[in-house]
Amino acid sequence: MFFNMNLEKILEIANECVENEIIETKGLSLMYKLDEKTHKTLDEELFYNTNNNLDNFKHNEVIEINIAGITFIFEIDKV
């Protein structure tokens, strides 16, 4: 089952992890497998929110970002 993933949701997940005292965030990595359309949309959203050069978007098969010490990894679900 696939779900919508966007920058706002990633920030919300990171915030929940940081605020929850029982979750150790040092060294924490979260991996999500997304359908191809959601993955590309997320990749574009992250690119346009973090780069000044808006003309050179190239879709990545693996997206890896670090927020508040938490590594988020997004891959395309090939199933």
Q: How does the average pLDDT of the chain come out, rounded?
A: 90
With CA atoms as reference, report the closest residue to 63 among 51, 71, 54. Answer: 71
Q: What is the dihedral of CA 32, 61, 77, 4, to 10 degrees?
A: 50
Q: Is the pLDDT of residue 5 over 50?
A: yes
Q: Kindly report the pTM of this predicted structure.
A: 0.87
Residue extents of the structural domains in the chain: 7-76
Rounded to a whole number of angstroms, the CA Rg of the chain reads 13
pLDDT digits 0-9 by tens, 43-78 = 999 988 887 666 788 899 999 999 999 999 999 998
